[in-house]
């Protein structure tokens, strides 16, 4: 279990900067902790975080189909980048 002190937390900046801070301070450390203790739970956690983020984004958009399309497009680009990075690591 991870214990986080939220009283000292201060998030500021652009939406992109705040999102990065949330991942660096909460989601990344939690995922790393779970990966060490229970890799399957870490995958479930990551999937839930991604699902909640996608649902929040789509729910806030007036054009849900456009939001869905953007999420699919960005997911495909991320997957391609990850596959490419993994191939480069294997060749090294």
Model pLDDT for residues 21-58, shown as the tens digit of each residue = 999 989 999 999 999 999 999 999 999 999 999 999 99
Count of structural domains, the chain: 2
Q: Is 34 within the bounds of a domain?
A: yes
Count Cβ neighbours within 10 Å for each residue of 49-65 and write b for 16 or more, e otherwise.
beeeebeeebeeeeeee
| 92: containing domain | 64-92
Instruction: Check: pTM over 0.75? Answer yes or no.
Output: yes
56 and 24: one domain?
A: yes
Alpha carbons 9 and 62: distance in angstroms, whole number: 32
């Amino acid at each position: 279990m991870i214990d986080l002190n939220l009283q000292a937390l201060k998030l500021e900046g652009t939406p992109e900067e705040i999102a990065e801070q949330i991942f660096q301070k909460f989601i990344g450390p939690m995922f790393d902790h779970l990966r060490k203790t229970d890799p399957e739970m870490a995958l479930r956690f990551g999937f839930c975080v991604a699902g909640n983020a996608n649902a929040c984004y789509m729910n806030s958009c007036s054009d849900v189909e456009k939001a869905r399309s953007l999420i699919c497009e960005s997911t495909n680009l991320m997957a391609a980048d990850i596959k490419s990075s993994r191939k480069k690591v294997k060749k090294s």
